[in-house]
């Protein structure tokens, strides 16, 4: 059963500025990225963002940063994206999608599909594109894949999500079960983010919460999350939807790990996860690519 609306409010988070300040602290642990990595401001059609480490752009990671739909930018996530680009050898375009509450649902999804159309317009085949993201951006990657499919466009080669937030109704049991183990996110923080992003929209809408979508005719999917995070069940739900649609799917839940554990390069689990994600991205972005 969805935990909506909240039974209590977190007094330490009174509004959007408090949430953004909390995210700013969380983003610091993502680091600055590999020293030799290039970060080049650019646009895909009307959508701003930046290219990360891309020389050869014949295949691309289209990346959506996390931040609860209210915070974050390509710059805040350079450390995480840079690690993924370095490990895979595939360049990324990090999308600067519009944030709530200034621009609410479905603005981020529209920006995502417009960026995807921009890649197609540059001659990059859909099969050479992998949609990827973390936290809210992980859910957004799936929402954009839904929009691409429903628009009749060529589907991407794959979809990747790290610790995805894919159920804005906050109904996963891990929201409560892991509330003490998760040192990064909590139910009340995510509720405030969802309220600012959704306004009066249904939290179970497939484009806001792809955990409730049908993944029929979806490309291969890989999802990684930590066993100790409140978003653990979101990752599992995405895997369930993909399995129900008989899409190729790999969901990996790492024991003892928290939210975006890949940010700590010294952890063996981070190395394994990044290696697995990189292998998937290389394989799926090269299928049928020109």
Domain boundaries of the chain, sorted by first residue: 16-286
Q: What is the pLDDT of residue 35?
A: 83
CB distance 68 to 165 below 8 Å: yes
Q: How confident is the model at residue 46 (pLDDT cuts 50, 70, 90)?
A: very high
- Region 8-35: what's the mean pLDDT? 84
The strand ranges marked E within 84-145 are 92-95, 129-134
- HEC profile for 180-238? CCCCCCCHHHHHHHHHHHHCCCCCCCCCCCHHHCCCCCCCCEEEEEECCCCCHHHHHHH
Q: How confident is the model at residue 12 (pLDDT cuts 50, 70, 90)?
A: low
Measure the CA–CA gap between 183 and 206, rounded to whole angstroms: 28
Q: What is the pLDDT of residue 21?
A: 96
Instruction: List all residues 6 or more positions away from 156 whose beta carbon is below 8 Å from its beta carbon.
Output: 62, 116, 126, 127, 129, 130, 131, 145, 148, 219
Is residue 4 over pLDDT 90? no
Bigger pLDDT: 213 vs 13:
213
* CATH superfamily assigned to domain 16-286: Alpha/Beta hydrolase fold, catalytic domain (3.40.50.1820)
Is residue 119 over pLDDT 80? yes
Is residue 290 over pLDDT 50? no
Q: What is the pLDDT of residue 265?
A: 86
Is residue 287 over pLDDT 60? no
User: What would the pLDDT profile of 136-170 be if each residue is shown by its tens digit?
Assistant: 999 999 999 999 999 999 999 999 999 999 999 99
Measure the CA–CA gap between 208 and 75, rounded to whole angstroms: 24
Q: How confident is the model at residue 286 (pLDDT cuts 50, 70, 90)?
A: confident
Q: How confident is the model at residue 32 (pLDDT cuts 50, 70, 90)?
A: confident
Tell me the chain's radius of gyration from C-alpha atoms: 17
- Lowest mean pLDDT: which of 27-36, 76-85, 115-124, 209-218? 27-36
Is residue 243 over pLDDT 80? yes
Q: How confident is the model at residue 24 (pLDDT cuts 50, 70, 90)?
A: very high
User: What would the pLDDT profile of 250-270 be if each residue is shown by its tens digit?
Assistant: 999 999 999 999 999 899 999
Q: What is the pLDDT of residue 246?
A: 97
Q: What is the pLDDT of residue 54?
A: 67
User: What would the pLDDT profile of 64-115 be if each residue is shown by its tens digit?
Assistant: 999 999 999 999 999 999 999 999 999 999 999 999 999 999 999 999 999 9
Reduced to 3 states, what is the DSSP secondary structure of residue 83? helix
Q: What is the pLDDT of residue 7?
A: 40
The continuous run of DSSP H or E covering 282 comes out as helix 268-286
Strand partners, 40: 51
The sheet that has 129-134: what strands, in order across it?
Answer: 39-44, 47-52, 92-95, 60-64, 129-134, 158-162, 221-226, 249-254
Q: How confident is the model at residue 14 (pLDDT cuts 50, 70, 90)?
A: confident
Bigger pLDDT: 3 vs 230:
230
End-to-end alpha carbon distance in the chain: 46
CB distance 45 to 114 below 8 Å: yes
Q: What's the whole-number average pLDDT of the chain?
A: 93
């Amino acid at each position: 059963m969805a935990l909506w609306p909240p039974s209590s409010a977190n007094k330490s988070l009174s509004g959007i500025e408090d949430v953004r300040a909390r995210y700013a602290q969380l983003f610091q642990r993502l680091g600055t990225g590999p020293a030799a990595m290039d970060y080049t401001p650019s646009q895909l059609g009307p959508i701003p963002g930046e290219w990360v480490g891309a020389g050869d752009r014949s295949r691309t990671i289209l990346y959506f940063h996390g931040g609860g739909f209210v915070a974050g930018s390509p710059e805040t996530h350079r450390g995480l994206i840079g690690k993924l680009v370095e490990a895979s050898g595939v360049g990324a375009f990090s999308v600067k999608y519009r944030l709530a509450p200034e621009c609410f649902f479905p603005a981020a999804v529209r920006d995502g599909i417009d960026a995807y159309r921009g890649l197609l317009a540059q001659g990059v085949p859909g099969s050479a594109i992998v949609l990827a993201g973390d936290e809210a951006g992980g859910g957004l990657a799936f929402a954009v894949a839904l929009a691409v499919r429903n628009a009749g466009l060529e589907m991407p080669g794959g979809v990747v999500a790290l610790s995805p937030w894919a159920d804005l109704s906050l109904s996963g049991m891990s929201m409560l079960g892991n509330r003490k183990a998760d040192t990064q996110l909590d139910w009340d923080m995510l509720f405030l983010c969802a309220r600012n992003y959704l306004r009066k929209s249904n939290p179970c809408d497939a484009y806001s919460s792809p955990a409730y979508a049908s993944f029929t005719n979806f490309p291969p999917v890989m999802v990684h999350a930590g066993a100790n995070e409140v978003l653990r069940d979101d990752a599992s739900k995405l895997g369930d939807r993909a399995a129900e649609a008989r899409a190729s799917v790999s969901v990996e839940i790492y024991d003892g790990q928290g939210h975006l554990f890949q940010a700590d390069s010294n952890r063996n689990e981070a190395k394994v996860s990044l290696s697995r994600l990189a292998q998937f991205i290389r394989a799926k972005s090269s299928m049928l690519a020109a």
